[in-house]
Amino acid sequence: MDEPLPAQIGRYRVLGELGRGAMGVVYRAEDPMLNRTVAIKTILMSSDPAVRAEYEARFRQEAKAAGGLNHPNLITIYDIGHEGDTAYMAMEVLEGVELRDMMKRGGLELPFVLEILAQVADGLAFAHERGVVHRDVKPGNIMIVGERRAKVMDFGVARMRASDIETQVGAVLGSPKYMSPEQVTGSPIDGRSDVFSLGVILYELTAGAPPFSAPDVQQYMLQIAGATPAPPSTLNPALPPMLDLIVARALEKDPARRYQSAADLAADLRACLGQPGMATAPAPAPALDFEFEDTVASAPAAGRLPLSRRFESADGFEHLAALAAAGRSADGAPLPSRRRLNEDPLLAMLAAGVALAAIAALVVALV
C-alpha cells in the first residue's frame, strides 16, 4: 500500500510525488512565499545518531555544493531545511527528458550530441572554477529541457575541495560505467575526473557503443584503469577525424595528459561542429547499456525530475567483497595470485582500490 503524501514539508505544500529512490522521495510542491512550484528532494534520517549525523552532513554538503552554483546548464537549488526525521532540499522543477532515455531510443544526430555535451562541459567548468567536482557525471544526471538546453543535476556525490566532512581513504564514489581511472584507483579527484566521465558519454553517443565492455564491475574497472578503447570512427566511419582526437584526449588515463579544463573540451566540441559535413552527419547507432549501471531505481517517465538515488555501485562492491573473500572473480575464475600482483603494479593498485571500495560502499550511501 502506498504511503500517504505529507501535506506539508517545511513551508512547502506537497502537490504530488515525482520519484522515489533508496534513501528518500522527490515531491512536487508549492512555495507559498514566492508563489512557485518546486521539487522537494528528501532523505529520511537513520535512527542511529552517528549514521544520522553523517547522512545529514552529506545532504547539507550536497546543498552547499550545488546551491552556490548559478548557471544555465546547472540545476538551481533554492533552499534546504529539516523537518522531524527528514532533511529536504527545494530545487527547480525540470520539465524535460533525461539524456539516458534519449540514448535508449536512439536516433540522436551528431550536431545535437556535440552541442548538448558542450553545454554540459560549460556547466561543469563553472562548477570546477568554484571548487565543486560532480563525481557522478552520467546520462541519467543530464536533463534536456526545451529543445536543446542541457541541465546537469544531482550533485549527490559532489565533494567540495574544502569539505566539512572527512572522507574515508580509498572510498570510491560514482557510477561504475562512467568512473575515471582516479576514482577506480582511489587517487585524488579534481575536475579532470568529470572530463573523463564526459568523454565516456561522448564516445558512447558517437560510436554507438561504450568505450569499455565487461560482464561485471570488477573487470570493467580493470578496463577503465588500463585499456585503451579503439577510436570511435572504427565503429562509426562517418565521424570526422577531429572527433577521434577529442575523445582520445578526454579519455587519457593520466589526468596531466587529459583536457585540463571542461571549458577546453567545450571549445573543441564546438570547433568540431564547424567541420565540413557536420550539418548532415548521420545519427549514431543506439548506445548499449550495462545491467550494473543502475542497481537502485529505474528511469523516471519523461518530464519528471529524476529519482533520488544512493551510491549506485554499492551492491556491486558488496558482491565483489564476498567473491574476493572466496578468492574468485565475478565469473568464477580465480583472482590473480599474490605473485602476479607483485609483478604488476597496476593490478596491485587496482586490487587495493577495489578492496577498499568494497568496504567503503557498505557504509557510504548517498542520495
Q: Catalytic residue numbers?
A: 136
How far apart (Å, rounded) are the C-alpha atoms in residues 221 and 225? 6
Grid cell in block for residue 354:
577495489
How far apart (Å, rounded) are the C-alpha atoms in residues 100 and 142? 8
How far apart (Å, rounded) are the C-alpha atoms in residues 236 and 187? 33
Q: What is the dihedral angle through the alpha carbons of 81, 86, 91, 93, rounded to the nearest 10 degrees?
A: -150
